[in-house]
Amino acid sequence: MILETPAQRRALLDRSKTVAMVGASANPLRPSYTVFSYLRTQGRFEVTPINPTIAAIDGVKAYPSLAAYAAERGAPDIVDVFRKPSEVAELAREAIAAGAKAIWFQYGVINPQAIELADAAGLDVVVDRCMKVESARFNGGLATNGLNSGLITSRRRA
């Protein structure tokens, strides 16, 4: 199903542990590196780069494909996608084949066919959102920068 509300995204992040990041770059100037590094150093997720052109990022072994990842590590909870929109329909098929529970399309990665494929296969789908930003929205990170988290609560954070 396509997750459109903050509560749905929060629930997805809460129930997920393993993240296969397709298109993760080892170049510190690239947005994908920023997200990779953030999610890894937060310690909440096991993040793995999926990129045939590199062996590892910051000591974390990279896999050439989702199939290679799944063969060794099993189905990922979330496939996080940093790729050109035109290339992601095929990627959605690979994510389905790898048994992924959810597919997360980063900012600007919008491909209606890929969304429909993943949704029809029963994956949770997040579109045009950043996994770093959404994690930070719920863990208080956004608020440290004066960004509108949208959170209103009188409960103390556990």
Partner 1 sequence: MQDRQFGFATRAIHAGTPPDPVTGSRVMPLYQTAAYVFGSTEQAAELFQLRSYGHIYSRISNPTVAAFEERMASLEGGLGAVAFSSGLAAQLGVVLSLAQNGDHLVCSQNIYGGTITQFTVLLKRLGIETTFVPADDHAAIAAAVKPETKLLFAETIGNPAGTIADLKALAGIAHDAGIPLVVDNTFASPYLCRPIEYGADIVTHSATKFISGHGTVIGGVVVESGRFPWDNGRFPLLSEASPGYHNKVFTETFGEYAFLMRARAEILRDVGAQMAPMDAWLLLLGLETLPIRMEAHVRNARAMAEFLDKRPEVEWVSYPGFASHPQHKLAEKYLPRGAGSIFTFGIRGGREAARRFIDALELWSHLANVGDMKSLVIHPASTTHSQLDGDELRKSGVAPESIRLSVGLEDADDLMWDLDNALKAAVRATENAPA
- Minimum gap (Å) between residue 54 Cβ and partner 1: 18
C-beta neighbour count of 154 within 10 angstroms: 4
- Minimum gap (Å) between residue 62 Cβ and partner 1: 19
- Kindly list the residues in this chain that would bind partner 1 in the complex (CB under 8 A): 5-8, 10, 28-31, 34, 37-38, 41-42, 107-108, 130, 133, 136, 138, 140-157
- Minimum gap (Å) between residue 42 Cβ and partner 1: 7
The rounded distance, in Å, linking the Cα atoms of 21 and 153 is 32
- Minimum gap (Å) between residue 20 Cβ and partner 1: 20
Q: Residue 50: helix, strand or coil by DSSP? A: strand
Q: CB nearer to partner 1: give 42 or 65.
A: 42
Q: CB nearer to partner 1: give 38 or 69.
A: 38
Give the type of residue at 75.
A
Q: CB nearer to partner 1: give 53 or 154.
A: 154
User: Residue 114 in contact with residue 57, Cβ under 8 Å?
Assistant: no
Query: Residue 33 forms beta bridges with which residues?
Result: none
Through-space distance between the first and last CA atoms of the chain, rounded to whole angstroms: 29
